[in-house]
Homo-oligomer: A and B are copies of this chain.
Amino acid sequence: MSDGAGFPPFACVTIVGVGLMGGSLGLALKARGLAQRVVGVDTNAQSLAQAQDWGVVDSGATDLADGVREADLVAVAAPVGVIPALLEGISAAARPDALVTDLGSTKGRIVAAGSRLFGPRFVGGHPMAGGVESGAGAARADLFAGAAWLIVRAEPFILEQDPFASRLAALVAALGARPLPMEATCHDRLAALVSHLPHALSFAFARTVAASEDAALAREMAGGSYRDLMRVAAADPTLWQGIFRDNQDALLAALIAFETHLRDLKRSIENTRD
């Protein structure tokens, strides 16, 4: 399969963090012929060895500097809280012409750090795809197919006039995703609304059910709406704590807006009392 026809492939792409997202990026790059070589960097040597066995990456490195040295594209697919520090490490070893991006769910701090370290060569990214399972073992070459993939800078920008952002957007399109340019503040406000808020609601819903004295019976009788919210709540809580922490202002604003609408709904239920 090569849907990337016409896209000049990268010689060497290094993916920092070979979990569900990074692993799926590796598989998709290889399946679509978008990279001549894919290197995985992970602190966990065993995960890295498995990722090589599964064909998710061509080779691996546990040392960040070693892993990124030859890359013309570095993509950081790690929990949002550690991405700024990883970018520091990458800046000390990467080629001076490498394009650098990330796959984090928040963008404000990450894009600020990336721009400071790499100038215009850093372009933030956020594929709106994921899953309940984690680890490279859950990686899928089609994880990003059809998903929006935000292309993010700190300041307003015109994609067509921005060679680095355009190159990332072309790669994203070649991966089968939908590149969507956006500035970081707008991204974080919208991500809070359409992703972080539903996760927060689902986590709070799961806790409400778990705290009920009838939790076991509740699960036995539950139907589709319960399952839909529980599917979201099955996401990795540690990963999401980091996302909530990193985007707390926008998420708190979204939560306050939600609470207003929930209060209205509650009042309309109370007012129908007969």
Instruction: Please give, as numbers and ranges, the residues of chain B lying within 8 Å of A45 by CB-CB distance.
Output: none
Partner of A197, one of B131, B208, B221, B273: B208
Instruction: Please give, as numbers and ranges, the residues of chain B lying within 8 Å of A217 by CB-CB distance.
Output: 182, 186, 190
Instruction: Please give, as numbers and ranges, the residues of chain B lying within 8 Å of A199 by CB-CB distance.
Output: 225
User: A244 within 8 Å of B by Cβ?
Assistant: yes
Give the docked Cα–Cα distance between A222 and B33 (Å). Answer: 28
Instruction: Please give, as numbers and ranges, the residues of chain B lying within 8 Å of A203 by CB-CB distance.
Output: 265
Interface string of A129-143 (1 = CB under 8 A from B): 111000000000000
Which one of A15-23, A67-75, A245-253 is at the B interface?
Answer: A245-253
User: A226 within 8 Å of B by Cβ?
Assistant: yes
* Chain B residue nearest in CB terms to A202: B225
Pairwise interchain contact A204-B265, C-beta atoms closer than 8 A: yes
Interface size class of chain A, counting residues whose CB lies under 8 Å from the partner chain:
35 or more
Copies in the complex: 2
Partner of A128, one of B129, B221, B245: B221
Pairwise interchain contact B214-A189, C-beta atoms closer than 8 A: yes
A window 253-269: CB within 8 A of B: 254-255, 257-262, 264-266, 269
Pairwise interchain contact B245-A205, C-beta atoms closer than 8 A: no
Which one of A4-12, A48-56, A85-93, A227-235 is at the B interface?
Answer: A227-235
Give the docked Cα–Cα distance between A70 and B259 (Å). Answer: 51
